Structure 1
Amino acid sequence: MQDRSLRLPDATEIAAITAQHLIATPLRPADLLFVFGTRVEEALRAETACRLWREGYFRHAIVSGGMTSGGDETECAVIKRAMVAGGIPAGLILEEHRATNTGENVIFSLPVLEAALGLANIRSVICLGNTWTSRRYPMTLQRHWPEVEKMLVTVDSFGVPHERWHTHPDLRRRVLAEWDKIDPYKAKGFIAEWP
């Protein structure tokens, strides 16, 4: 069976992915920055969180991410340490250390948020994650926490504009792999339509 993420998409698919998956949302100050864990580009994720903090875009943050194979620290520990080193007060960053996928990021973080802040006190969330995963972050939040307003900030170090994602072989492979998850994940109830 051929790996579908290695295909060369046609113009129609490129346009659909650019419009529907690699979305940008208007950004305004939020109650919470939800930092989704990663095994790549942890420093870029933390730098972006620090920039958002300096610009006044959130009051609290949660970093969610468990152990990765071959690692000796959780994704949460690595990213939070870099966020604190970049100037965000440690006491404002909540931690979730068990999640191994996007669904678990949300499921395991909700009780942490409820205990520390109260979910009813959080009205808006900025999701921060990889460009290639893009709208799947807020779609996962929509499935488990529909009441909250969701915004999205994505990062990567590929150096190509979002509308040119298909011109970079590694970014193209990652985007196509994530795009192909959307319909099956909706069918299984892992994510919900958003926006």
Structure 2
Amino acid sequence: MEDRSLRMPSDDEIAAINARHLIQTPLRPADLLFVFGTRVDVAERVDAAVRLWRDGLVHWAIVSGGVTPGDISSECEIIKAAMVARGIPAERILEEYRAQNTGENVIFSLPVIDAALGRNAIRSVICLGNSWTARRYPMTLQRHWPEVEKMLVTVDSFATPRALWHTDPEFRRRVLIEWDKIEPYKAKGFIAEWPVG
């Protein structure tokens, strides 16, 4: 079977991905920063979290991510420790350390947020994750927490500019894998359309 992630997308598909998937949102102060766990580009994710904190755009964060095969520390532990080392107070960072995928990041984090802050007190969230996963973070949040306003910040360590993602074989492969998940995940109810409108 053909590996669709290795295809060279058409100009129309590149334009659609740029317009609908690899989106950035305007940022304004948010009630919560939702840091989706990773083992890839951890330093870039922590840099972005610290920048958002120092710029006064967030005053609370949750880091979500479990232990990946072959490791003993959870993504949550590793990312939170790096955020604290860079100056974000540990007591301002909520922890979710079981999630193994984006859906679980949200599903397992909601009770943690509710217990610590009260979900109803949170009106806006900045999602922070990998550039190639892009809008799937807020789409997952939209499926499970539609009431909250969602903003998106994404990071990566590719030297290739984001608009030229399709010219870098590995960047292209990662983007296409995530892009190809959108419609099947919507059909299965894992994610919901976002932005709405």
TM-score with structure 1 length normalisation?
0.99
Q: Give 4+ residue runs of structure 1 displaced > 6 Å after superposition.
A: none
Structure 1 residue ranges without an equivalent (≥5): none
- Output aligned runs, 1:50-129, within 5 Å: 50-129=50-129
Q: Which amino acid aligns with 2:72?
A: D
Instruction: State the aligned residue count.
Output: 195
- 1:87-122 CA distances to partner (integer Å, 9 max, x unpaired)? 000000000000000000000000000000000000
- 1:163 paired to 2:163: yes
Match of 2:129, SS state, is strand
Structure 1 CA distance for aligned equivalents of residues 77 and 47 of structure 2: 15
Per the TM alignment, residue 44 of structure 1 is displaced from its structure 2 partner at its CA by 1.4
Is 1:23 aligned to 2:23, yes or no? yes
Deviation of the 1:50 alpha carbon: 0.5
Separation in structure 1 between the aligned mates of residue 161 and residue 26 of structure 2, nearest angstrom: 17
Q: Paired residue for 1:42? A: 42
Cα distance in 2, alignment partners of residues 40 and 7 from structure 1:
23
Letter in 2 for 1:41: D
Opposite residue 187 of structure 1, the aligned amino acid is A
AA matched with 1:112: V
Aligned equivalents of 2:142, 2:88: Cα separation in 1: 27
Aligned counterparts of 1:14 and 1:44: Cα–Cα separation in 2: 25
1:150 is aligned to: 150
Q: Measure, in 2, the Cα distance between the counterparts of 1:131 and 1:159.
A: 13
* Counterpart-to-counterpart distance in 1, 2:158 and 2:132: 11
Amino acid aligned to 1:30: A
Unaligned runs of 5+ in 2: none
| Distance across 2 between alignment mates of 1:91 and 1:128 | 19
Partner of 2:136: 136
1:40-74 Cα deviation digits (max 9, x unpaired): 11121111101110011101000000010111100
Question: Following the alignment from structure 2 to structure 1, what is the Cα–Cα distance between the partners of residues 143 and 42?
Answer: 26
Paired residue secondary structure (2:186): helix
Distance in structure 2 (CA, Å) of the matches to 1:50 and 1:115? 24
Q: What TM-score do the two structures reach when normalised by structure 2? A: 0.98
Separation of aligned partners in 1, 2:166 and 2:136: 18
- Deviation digits for residues 100-146 of structure 1, max 9, x if unmatched? 00000000000000000000000000000000000000000000000
- Bigger drift between 44-53 and 129-138 goes to 44-53
Which residue in the other structure is 1:173 paired with? 173
What is the CA distance between 1:161 and its match in structure 2?
2.1
What is the root-mean-square deviation in Å for CA atoms of aligned residues? 0.6
Shift of 1:39: 1.6
Shift of 1:163: 1.3
- Deviation, 1:162, is 1.9
